[in-house]
Structure 1
Amino acid sequence: MISPDLQPGLKFEDRFRVEDFMTVPRLYPTVDFCADMPDVLATGYMVGIMELACTRAIMRYVDWPRVQSVGTMVNFTHTAATPPGMSLRIAGEVLEVDGRRLRFRVEAWDDHDKICEGTHERFVIDPAKFNGKLAEKKNKAGL
């Protein structure tokens, strides 16, 4: 399921551009007071970008897309504002591989400042099995 080459110490980098739709006013367009908030990268999108960088880093070590991963824990600080149009550089490292559980250290910088640092955890899944359980849950909920 996971290549033995996926080991602690594996380092990776990724890059993203902050787009207009990733800002605080656009994160919750149905919440009126959000329209008045600063037009900067929303923490919710920043978390997603950090998760995506970790996911991209492990894709070549699993039989993607037959084997995937889901985020199970995030612990990030968001320490500087980033306007749309800036680029982000994300640097990470695999800290632990414990069966299907993967733990990462991740940091991000925009064009001027370090904006984020912390840890992230992902679990490697069989999407067919995962989606089967999800379908059962949706069925029980009448969705």
Structure 2
Amino acid sequence: MPESLSAMLDVPVGLENRLTITSSRKDSAESFGNAGVDVVATPALIGFLEQAAGRALKPYMSPDEVTLGTMIDVQHLGAAPVGAAIDCTARVTAVDDNRVTFAVEARWNGRTLMKGRHGRAVVDGARFFRRLEEMTSEG
């Protein structure tokens, strides 16, 4: 993994970010290939939780840095219909250099839909994309 631009992120353990995302058809299990299942899909919920975690880090990043998911360990515990407003929470539980671990949870109507852990790394964006391009051109 590329190194961070900053020597150490100054992200406080306990930092929490919450956001509400209203799901749409593109978030349905059916749109992910599970025909006839018109509920919010597991990959969509994971994406919502990643957004909550990534947005928590933005104020602590330089403009040249990007955040990348490095780990996801979640349980999908409940269903929500397409169109549901999903409340997402990401709370920092550990910071190790440029890597941040979060406790994440998605809820709807007071019920837990998904919970677990998520890891992100903050890296130099130009360096990351340059390396990706080099790997792509190597064929």
Question: 1:24-43 CA distances to partner (integer Å, 9 max, x unpaired)?
Answer: 11113xxxxx323x101110
Counterpart code for 2:42: T
Whether 1:9 and 2:39 are equivalent positions in the alignment is: no
In 1, the alpha carbon distance for the partners of 2:95 and 2:35 equals 42
Whether 1:22 and 2:27 are equivalent positions in the alignment is: yes
Any idea what SS the aligned residue of 1:7 has? coil
Q: Offset at 1:112? A: 4.4
Question: 1:46-65 CA distances to partner (integer Å, 9 max, x unpaired)?
Answer: 1111111100111011113x
Runs of 4 or more, structure 1, over 4 Å off, are none
Which of structures 1 and 2 has the larger relative contact order (alpha carbons within 8 angstroms, sep 6+)? 2
Counterparts of 1:103-122 in structure 2, within 5 Å, are 103-122=101-120
In 2, the alpha carbon distance for the partners of 1:44 and 1:9 equals 26
Any idea what SS the aligned residue of 1:54 has? helix
Counterpart code for 2:102: F
Specify the alignment match of 2:3 in structure 1: none
Counterpart code for 1:78: H
In 2, the alpha carbon distance for the partners of 1:3 and 1:140 equals 33
Specify the alignment match of 1:31 in structure 2: none
Aligned residues: 133
What RMSD, in angstroms, separates the aligned Cα atoms of the two structures? 1.3
Whether 1:94 and 2:127 are equivalent positions in the alignment is: no
Q: Offset at 1:7? A: 1.3
Q: Give the alignment partner of residue 76 of structure 1, picking from 74, 93, 114.
A: 74
Question: 1:91-112 CA distances to partner (integer Å, 9 max, x unpaired)?
Answer: 2210111001100001110124
